[in-house]
Amino acid sequence: ESYLRGQALNGYEVYVIMGSYGTGGIGSASASVVNSINNGKVTVPANVWKVAVLLKIGDNDLSRVKSSTRVIAINTPNINSTSASWKDYIVSVRDIEAATGYNLLSNLSQNIQDVVEKLKDSGN
């Protein structure tokens, strides 16, 4: 969050898509995997993911997404022992799509998707 906030303060628009998948996480209430809370009313996800598309501030954003547009994807396990560095969890958008079944960034042309969704960001 703080990295993306910094990018927004430095002249970028940041579009964020995020979600979760799977069942079972380890939180502060238990040292073992918990599948649900609140008497089974809330499923605890196994993973939490985020995709961020960064564009210099401008107009007609969809048309400005190119194969060189920076796209950051992270996928973190829902456990208390995760690293403090988001860079440890960088994946490709296609990795998240494979795990979730979603077609993210589907409003982009297929040729642009085929480039930006396969790349793993450097984290720099």
The helix/strand/coil state of 76 is strand
What is the total residue count of the chain? 124
DSSP secondary structure of 1-56: -HHHHHHHHTTEEEEEEEEEESS-BB-TT-SS-B-EETTTTEEPPSEEEEEEEEEE
Mean pLDDT of the 96-107 span: 97
Residue ranges of the domains in the chain?
A: 2-116
CA-CA distance, 51 to 56, in Å (whole number)?
Answer: 17
Mean pLDDT of the 22-36 span: 86
pTM summary value: 0.91
Which fold would CATH assign to domain 2-116? Answer: Extracellular Endonuclease; Chain A (3.40.570)
Task: Look up residue 40 and give its amino acid.
Answer: G
Confidence label for 2 from pLDDT (cuts 50, 70 and 90): very high
